[in-house]
Structure formats: structure tokens, C-alpha cells
Amino acid sequence: MDERIIQVAKSWLGDGYDEETKAEVRRLLEGDPKELQEAFYKTLEFGTGGLRGIMGAGCNRMNRYTVGMATQGFANYLKKCFSHLDQIKVAVSYDCRNNSATFSRIVAEIFEANGFHVYLTKELRPTPELSYAIRHFGCQGGVMVTASHNPKIYNGYKAYWEDGAQVIAPHDKNIIEEVNAITDISQVKWNRDAETKGQIELVGEELDDDYLRDLSTLHVSPESVKRHHDLGIVYTPLHGCGVKIVPRALREMGFTNVHLVEDQCINSGEFPTVQSPNPEEPTAMKMALDLAERVGAEIVCASDPDADRCGIAVRDENNNLVLLNGNQMNCILTYYMLRRWKELGRLENPEKFPYIIKTIVTSNLMSDIADHFQVKWYNVLTGFKNIAEVIHANEGKGIYICGGEESFGFAVGEYVRDKDSPITVSLICECAAWCKDHNTTVWGLLQSIYKQFGERKDWLRSYTFPGIEGKQKIDGIVEQYRTNPPTHIGSSPIIEYRDYLKHDYYAPEVKLAKSNVLQYTAEDGTVVSLRPSGTEPKIKFYFNLRCNPGEDVEAKAQAIDAQFAIQ
């Protein structure tokens, strides 16, 4: 065992640390050396999106001390940037995870001790509502305590800027510097004095009212909902914080036949009914699919623990429930929104140009649809904060209609600057009602899109390699693809190779930040991208397959999948 690691661990037995933490550190010192190493071999990195890690004692774990030090660093940076204000305002919310309520209170109290006015949600609230609250209350920043869709042993901390989006350059790197400057818990303002106390304002249903009222203005087919209000819908929050907002949004739209998966409406950081609370995973949707079969529902919707991502299932031509992937969901909703905007005469705006946004690993079918409707589109790096950056840059000049990324994230309109499952669920159900008016279904609409624009198949392969050795393996795989790129995707030669870390690219007009992403485009239009995850010990391969008429889609997909498989 590295002596440095032991000394760092022993420092956590000193003054300032609570007895529960000290007991856990003693257990680690006396127990498995590998567990001790993982807890203390580095400081939990405050990345460009914030913190995310396994909960427990140690400088490489999520706990009150790593959360406190991160918050103090963030507060110091906010004070530098907004020193001209009499008082800085921030919003704080949290999800259902173990310790989320505790961590959010710690965050709020440290902000308060730094002289900030804090809007803290009384109870757990979705990430998109936190994004909304920042702009709604005129805040300069915000924090959402969540680990999104990660397993139950994780928690996290998303940092937001005054535009309601997660922080981007240069603020992300500058905040990291401020956080790294907090090297000891004694630098954190843990204790509020008489002058700062009283600056935490609890917010609840009044924020929900405003949020849902504004989202209601984004609907485009209210008459279809009235005609088909009894559309059969099943929704599950997967134990997360969509439990109140999403059903209420559907009710207020006018849907009257909504069924909830009651066992999964119980908020719990243990996620007792699922192996992983991730709507991208088919197993997470099982209980909702089973309920839909029992009640004969036409559409199934799920949101993840912090209710920014959502999963969708619809009936196919044989009346079987089929799970949509994130690309299919995004393409259906993009087509639906643009078609309805065209029918409503909203695309002809002489003062502001309408536009959509996708990420570089999301299906190019989204941009093909935008071209068809003569709507401008942007292609940005992975992460919804990059979509939000374009929205912010276009304020006053353009009208953001919608945008999304393949990882089950979509948003409509400018009220929320992050993925937004309440509006996504609402709109997919509204789209289903609209489809009924046109004697089709959501699945039928997707097939007609393929017929018009060409058949696609999009999928993701993730490989998990935890720990120190895992990071080295992931780095090695990326470097191998960087220095020895493939010459073909399947039988089609590669005509473009992009290394987003080495070269500058534009989206268009907006310069993309450097990012460790490799992307290969074949002559037939198929695109393969790979990147190491920024929040999990994973490397991800994104496949966007374009097929010509008569090609065997599944055979072509299997061959390409095998070509890029990691043993």
C-alpha cells in the first residue's frame, strides 16, 4: 500500500470530521487494502459538470466533506464573477437518492454562510425544474444533488450557471480551479453566523405551478388531446422525483386515462424494484410494460431518478409494445414539432429564425428532418449543456424549437436549459393523440419517417472498466483507435475521420470545445463515434447506421457491431 494513501486516510481521523466518518475510516484502514486505495488514492474530481461518485468516507467518495469543499469552491467563484451584486442568489434541489436531502441542506447552508440568498426546494424536485428555477428567480447559479441514472451506491452534484444550464467554458475550468484550491475542510464556511442566517427560502408547489404553466404554452395540438383524452398511458418515475410533476402535467393537459406503477411511485434511494434506475435499460421498464399489458395502454413512459431523461414504449403494427431508443424518440418528436409548427404557420418568422439542436453522436435523421422543413440545425458535443450554450447564444435572434441527444434526453422551448422529461412525456402523449387524428400511431409515424428519409438503425454499446486499471484500459482503447483508425465501416470505406480532441470543429458557427471524441463517417452515410464517459468508468460506441433500399438492416448492423466489439 502506498504510504501516501495511508497518511491521507489517517488525516480523516483528525478534528473536524464526525464520529461516523472516523469509524468508517478506521474500518477501511483495518480492512481490504484495495477498498482503502479506491477511497483515498485521489480527490474526487470536480469535473466540467460537477461531482459524481460512490458514497462513503474518503477524499474520492461522495460525502458531506467532499460536497462541502466543492460548494465552497463554487461559492468563491460566484463571488468573484458577481462581486457587483448586493446579493448573489442560487437555487438548490435534490433527487430521491440516499443522502441527497442531507447533501442539499449542506450545500444550501454553505451558500448561506457565504452571504447568498438560497432558494431550496422543500422536497425533491426534478433537474429540469431546478434549471427553470434559476432563471425564474433570477439566480446566478444553482446545484442539483443527483447522480442521475447511476446505480444506488452513487450520488452527485450538478453545477449550474445563471442561464439555467450546467456550467460551460470558461466557467467550468475556473470553478474546478477554485474547488481544487480548497485543500482542507477548515477552508469551508460550515457555520452560519447571525448576519447570514435566514437567507434560505424554501420553495414548493408555487414553483411547480409556474413551471407547469410555462410548459403548457409549448403544446401544439391541444384539440387532439381533447378528442383523445382517454388515450391509455402508463407512467413510472422509477422511484424518482418525477412522481408528482409528470402525472400532474398529464392531468392538466387533459389526459384522463393515466395509470401509475404504484410500487415505483415510492421514493427510495434503494431503487428496490429495479437493478438499475435507468430508462435506457429494458429491465427498468418491465413493471410499466406489464401494467400496460394488463390495462391495455397504448403508450408507456418512464423517467429516471432526477426526471431529466425518459424512456418510451409504444404499440407496433402487431399491437406489441416496443421500446424506443433515444434516437427514435428524438426523431419522432422533432418531426412532430416541426410539422406542427409548419401547419400552424410558426416557421415563417421574419424577425427570428427557428432552429433545432442535436449532438454529434445523435442520429443524423434529426438534421435531415430539419433540412426538409427548411429549419436551421446545430450539431454540438455530447452533453445538454452544449445545447443550452447555443440557445443562450441565439437569444434575441433565433427561436429554439427543440433539441435532444441519443441518451434519452430531449427538451422543447427555452424555459428549461437541460433535459426535461415532464415536457417530453407530455409531448409524446400529445403526439400519440395527434397520430390518432391522422389514423396512425406513434410507431406508424416512425415508419413513415423512415420511408420518407431512409431507414436508420441507431444503437449504443457501453463497456465498463472500473477502478485505476479500468481507466488505463479505457485510455488505451481510445489511443488505439486514435492512432490506428479503421479504414471501413462494414464494407463501406471511411471518407471522414474527426478527432475532436486534436482539431477544431464548428456546429455551424459555434466553435466546439476540445473533447475526447473520435468519429468516423463512411461513404454510405453510416457514422461510428466513440468516447470515454465523463461521469462513469465506461467507454461508449455510438452507431448511426444508414441503409439503402433493399439492404438487410439487421445483418449490416450485426457485422458493424462485431467489427467494433471489445473483448
Which CATH number covers residue 348?
A: 3.40.120.10
Residue 94 sits in the same domain as residue 158: yes
Is residue 74 within 8 A of residue 178, CB to CB? The reply is: yes
pLDDT band per the 50, 70, 90 thresholds, residue 450: very high
Place of cell 418531426: 335
> Over 90: is that where the pLDDT of 161 sits?
yes
User: In the listed set 203, 229, 245, which residue is the last one of a domain according to the structure?
Assistant: 203
148 classed as catalytic:
yes
CA-wise closest residue to 141 among 124, 106, 117: 117
Which of 156, 171, 203 is a domain's end point?
203
What's the mean pLDDT in 235-247? 97
253-296 pLDDT, tens digit each = 999 999 999 999 999 999 999 999 999 999 999 999 999 999 99
Pair 31, 173 in one domain: no
Do 35 and 47 fall within a single domain? no
Helix, strand and coil percent figures for the chain, each rounded to 5? 40, 20, 40
Provide the CATH number for the domain around residue 523. 3.30.310.50
- The answer to whether 220 and 341 are in contact (CB under 8 A) is yes
Q: Is the peptide bond before 170 cis (omega within 30 degrees of 0)?
A: yes
Q: Are residues 359 and 400 in the same domain?
A: yes
Residue 261 and residue 235 in contact, taking contact as beta carbons nearer than 8 Å:
yes
Query: Tens of pLDDT along 301-317?
Result: 999 999 999 999 999 99
Q: What is the mean predicted confidence (pLDDT) over 437-454?
A: 96
**pLDDT at residue 510 tops 90:** no
Size of the chain, expressed as the number of residues it contains = 567
Mean pLDDT, residues 390-394 taken together: 94
Dihedral over alpha carbons 384, 390, 392, 394 (to 10 degrees): -150
Give the whole-angstrom CA distance, residue 484 versus residue 193: 59
Q: For 118-133, how does the pLDDT look when each residue is reduced to its tens digit (9 = 90+)?
A: 999 999 999 999 999 9
Residues 6+ apart with CB under 8 A from 254: 222, 225, 226, 229
Domain count, the chain: 4
From the CB of residue 83, how many other CB atoms can be counted at a distance below 10 Å?
A: 8
Query: What span, in angstroms and rounded, lies between the C-alpha atoms of 56 and 380?
Result: 35
Cell of 379: 450539431
Write out pLDDT tens, residues 184-200. 999 999 987 767 788 99
What are residue 492's phi and psi, to 5 degrees?
A: -95, 125
Q: Tell me the average pLDDT across 332-346.
A: 97
pLDDT exceeds cutoff 90 at 512: no
The pLDDT value given to residue 96: 96
- Residue 78: domain span: 43-203
Same domain, residue pair 461 and 438:
no
Distance CA 106, CA 103 (A): 5
Q: What is the pLDDT of residue 2?
A: 85
Sheet holding 376-380, edge to edge: 376-380, 353-359, 398-405, 409-412
| Nearest alpha-carbon partner for 253 in 429, 381, 452, 414 | 429
Are both 263 and 396 inside the same structural domain?
A: yes
pLDDT band at 50 (very low <50, low <70, confident <90, very high): confident
Report the pLDDT value the prediction gives residue 261, as an integer from 0 to 100: 98
Cα separation, 521 vs 253, whole angstroms: 42
Each residue's pLDDT tens digit, 84-120: 999 999 999 999 999 999 999 999 999 999 999 999 9
438 and 558 assigned to the same domain: no
Indicate which residue of 148, 303, 363, 426 is catalytic. Answer: 148
Question: Are 466 and 327 in the same domain?
Answer: no
Is there a single domain that holds both residue 30 and residue 99?
no
pLDDT at 509 over 80: no
From the centroid of its chain, how far is CA 474? Answer: 22
β-pairing, 538-546 vs 527-532, is: antiparallel
Averaged pLDDT, 513-541 = 91
Q: pLDDT category, 23, cuts 50, 70, 90?
A: very high
**How many Cβ atoms are within 10 Å of 464's Cβ, its own excluded?**
11
Residues 538 and 423 occupy one common structural domain: no
Average pLDDT, stretch 4-32?
A: 94
**What is this structure's pTM?**
0.93
**SS3 (DSSP) at 367:** helix
Last residue of a domain, one of 424, 453, 482: 453
Residue with cell 492512432: 483
Return mean pLDDT, the chain. 94
Residues 237 and 342 in one domain: yes
Q: Are residues 417 and 526 in the same domain?
A: no
Q: What percent of the chain has pLDDT over 70?
A: 99
